[in-house]
Structure 1
Amino acid sequence: MDTCACALELLGMLVYVGAWLCDLTTTILPQWLTMSTALLPVESYELGLWETCVVQDVGGMECRAYDSLLGLSTDLKLARILMCISLAVGMLGLLVAIPGLYLVNSCGEHGGYRTKRTLTITGGVLGIISGVLCLIPVSYMAHLAVIHFFDDKVPDVVPRWEFGDALFCGWAGGFLFIVAGLLLITSGLCSQVEPQPVLQRRYQVMSADASFRKRTEYV
């Protein structure tokens, strides 16, 4: 395996870990959507997947978890499911890609290079899938916020939900997942040449030399 492929592999793993942490942060943060009212400028509201919070300008913050799962809207249920699946697929891809690293001698010194390459590419594909699963709920919630914000049927004095920090973190995590997956796939494709053992190469050189000598003596 050449140096370029090894560097892509290590860079892909670092980006992979950062993407998974962003995905986890997005799932936990309550700032998916934020809303502030003109009637109470000292307070703002935050909507997350697991709880809603009231934030005061003086620094106080009070959060309350949702009372019932059945009472949640379909949008929040779908976002919960997709984000949890994204975390699970991302962790699975990370665990699959680690044994396929060039620096991890889990398949033997002279053999198993095809297996390691397959594990690396599989981890990259799972990373891309995880990124897509993360981008879907984040983009969908942002889409709903935009539709409701520019709804002409709602009076201008009525407060509206706006983008929260969790959405931006989710977009970053999804794109990082895709970048990490592409890096791992590229590193796997760049390492298609399987190195031969030293003894086997010596035997081939000696056989070729002996064959050449026989042909010379015959002539």
Structure 2
Amino acid sequence: MDTCACALELLGMLVYVAAWLCALTTTVLPQWLTMSTALLPIESYELGLWETCVVQDVGGMECRPYDSLLGLSSDLKLARIFMCACLTVGLLGIMVTVPGLYLVNSCKDRTKRTFTIIGGVLGMISGVLCLIPVSYMAHFAVMHFFDEKVPEVVPRWEFGDALFCGWAGGFLLIVAGLLLVSSSLCSQVEPQPVLQQRYKAMNTDYNSRKRSEYV
């Protein structure tokens, strides 16, 4: 396998694992949306996929999980589904990619390339599944923040840290998938070593001379 292709493969795998952990952190964090009020400046509210939290400036934080799944809004339900699908597809992609690594002696080269390509495609799909709910929740916050029908004194939701973490995880998953697919495509055409090419040329020249002597 070419050194460049092997480096791309290892880099893609490292980025893949880091991006999946970033997506997992995004799913768990409650800071998807944040809101602070002028009436109670010492407190701020945080909205997540699994719970809501009240944060105080003195350092206290109290979180409460949602009481019922059926009582959730459609936005949170879809965000949960997409993030869980993102984690599932990403984990499946990692499991498929590991046997296809060049450093793992598990199967033939052609099968390795197939596993690596499938893992890269699953990584890109996982990245898209991560970007959809994160971008939608950001769009939801922007639309409500600039809604002219809502009075200015009414508090509005703003971006939380989980959204930025989700954007980073989604883009990194896509990048990792592209790196893995590129490494597989580069490894399909393996250039012959220079010494082997010179040996073949010398051998061909020697055979041609030998034939001419017999003639």
TM-score for both structures, normalised by structure 2: 0.91
2:11 is matched by which residue type in structure 1? L
Opposite residue 57 of structure 1, the aligned amino acid is D
In 1, Cα distance between equivalents of 2:212 and 2:102: 43
Q: Partner of 2:60 in structure 1?
A: 60
Aligned position for 2:168: 172
Correspondence list, 1:175-194, <5 A: 175-193=171-189
Question: Are 2:132 and 1:130 equivalent residues in the alignment?
Answer: no
Aligned pair 1:98/2:98, yes or no? Answer: yes
- For 1:44 and 1:158, the matched residues in 2 are separated by 14
In structure 2, the CA distance between the partners of 1:91 and 1:68, relative to structure 1 (3 Å rule), is: same
RMSD value over aligned CA atoms? 2.0
Give yes or no for the alignment of 1:41 onto 2:37. no
Are the counterparts in 2 of residues 5 and 188 from structure 1 also a CA contact under 8 Å? yes
Aligned to 1:75: 75
**1:208, CA displacement in angstroms?**
7.0
Q: Distance in 1 between matches of 2:86 and 2:190?
A: 33
State whether residues 37 and 44 of structure 1, in contact with CA within 8 Å, keep that contact through their aligned partners in structure 2.
yes
Q: Aligned partners of 1:213, 1:80: CA distance in 2, in Å?
A: 74
Helix, strand or coil at the partner of 2:188:
coil
Q: CA deviation at 1:193?
A: 3.1
Poorly superposed stretches of 4+, deviation over 2 Å: 193-196, 207-219
Amino acid at match of 1:5: A
Give how far 1:57 is off: 0.4
Q: Deviations 1:55-107 (Å, cap 9, x if unpaired)?
A: 00000000000000000000000000000000000000001111111111111
Contact 1:113 1:194 in 2 (8 A): no
* Equivalent residues of 2:2, 2:190 under 8 A apart: no
Give the Cα separation in 1 of the matches to 2:22 and 2:44. Answer: 24
- Identity in percent: 83
Aligned length: 208
Aligned-partner residue type, residue 135 of structure 1: L
The answer to whether the Cα contact below 8 Å between 2:34 and 2:45 also exists between their aligned partners in 1 is yes
Q: Distance in 1 between matches of 2:205 and 2:60?
A: 83
* Alignment match, 2:2: 2
Residue by residue, what CA displacement relative to the aligned partner does 1:35-74 show, whole Å, maximum 9, x if unpaired?
0000000000000000000000000000000000000000
Paired residue for 1:29?
Answer: 29
Query: What code does the residue aligned with 2:188 have?
Result: Q
Give the letter aligned to residue 60 of structure 2. Answer: G
**Structure 1 gap ranges (5+):** 197-203
The code of the aligned residue for 1:154 comes to: V
SS of residue matched to 1:31: coil
Task: Tell me the secondary structure at the aligned position of residue 79 of structure 2.
Answer: helix
Segments of structure 2 that go 5 or more residues without pairing to the other structure are 193-199
Q: Secondary structure at the match of 1:155?
A: coil
